[in-house]
Amino acid sequence: QLASDTATLFVLACGSSFVIMLGGIDLSIQAMASLASVIVALTIDRLGYGSFVFAVLVGALSGALAGLAHVKLKIPSFIATLAIGGVLAGAALVISHEHSITLDEHQRQYLTWITGSSLGIPHEVFIGLAVLLLGHILQGRTRFGRYSAAIGAGEAAAFASGVKVDRQKIVAFTLSSGFAGLAGVILA
């Protein structure tokens, strides 16, 4: 039960670890999760399961924008993601008309892959394990992960070694916010 209750926070933490590995911080993840849950609630009738993909893609796009602001405009990640988070939180309030959105029985059927259980284990636990596996593969078994660790250990040295630091940062912010979009899907 505890694992099920904390699955959303676990997905958020896994995503933000990509940015933390670089020595940055992403303060927009909570707002992105909130916006993603609103997107799912408002689009599930028209898009069905596509609303989940749409919410994650909006998350990835907002992360890419935060990464671009950090890298190209030389804004510290703290400030860039705080600003993006404010925009995302405002967008969630505006499109939801500042009201909670309830899902009817038909809409809730789309969420059984999240809210159900198999073998007595809630599906949120399986989603958390899948995210853990994906995060481990990305950080431990790919060039992206090795470069991220190198940048976190010393950005100047990583740059001098030929690592495309700016691209790595943008990808890390994109992943962080995309995972936050997934967390918002779970919240819905």
Question: Tokens representing 68?
Answer: 């671009």
Give the pLDDT confidence score for residue 172 in this predicted structure.
97
Containing H/E element for 117? strand 117-118
Give the pLDDT confidence score for residue 99 in this predicted structure.
87
Region of 30 on the Ramachandran plot (φ > 0 left; ψ -120 to 50 alpha; else beta): alpha
pLDDT band at 37 (very low <50, low <70, confident <90, very high): very high
pLDDT band at 106 (very low <50, low <70, confident <90, very high): confident
> Which residue's entry shows tokens 């303060």?
27
Residue type present at position 74: K
> Count of H helices and E strands in the chain?
11, 2
- pLDDT average, residue stretch 130-142: 96
Give the pLDDT confidence score for residue 133 in this predicted structure.
97
Residue 115 phi/psi, 5-degree rounding, is: -85, -15
Give the pLDDT confidence score for residue 130 in this predicted structure.
96
Estimate the crossing angle of helix 50-72 against helix 77-95, to 10 degrees.
150
Give the pLDDT confidence score for residue 31 in this predicted structure.
97
- Is pLDDT above 90 for 82? yes
Return the higher-pLDDT residue of 101 and 133. 133
Q: Is the dihedral of CA 15, 50, 64, 76 positive or negative?
A: negative
Give the pLDDT confidence score for residue 45 in this predicted structure.
92
Mean pLDDT of the chain: 94
Give the pLDDT confidence score for residue 147 in this predicted structure.
95
